Structure 1
């Protein structure tokens, strides 16, 4: 579901043989935030790394640039830039 102004919710059924909270498992998988451009994703990653946090590499998801991180409690969050024509949810 989208409000047409950048807010999206995606609800999917859990897949058999998955554990809670893993991708395609029951529960909240992660929260996603859109970035205005690819440079913002890189700047966020660089700032978090400079603050001493362990951060993964930025992923290329069919043209979208995505950074997936975990908060101190283990909740995953995503910061992604989507170029024009790339779907926000799959």
Structure 2
């Protein structure tokens, strides 16, 4: 099962933080987000919610992004020519992926 995470509301496409699926987290990196720290900073003083509307803390979101399932299949490689990057083991993408 996969879960999408958003800032403030599950209807906030501009605030899409990322997707947990297949044992890995893939983060959305909008313009201006160029590192894991930049991505985490977006959550300061904001609500983090799942697509079903459940609220989690920014700390729980960070822990989710860094978590790996022991038997998870590997996620795909970054497409650097498209602005994607990997930081702290998390794949960051610039385009929509849902």
User: Larger Rg: 1 or 2?
Assistant: 1
Q: Could you tell me the TM-score, scaled by structure 2's length?
A: 0.29
Greater relative CO (CA pairs within 8 A, separation 6+): 2
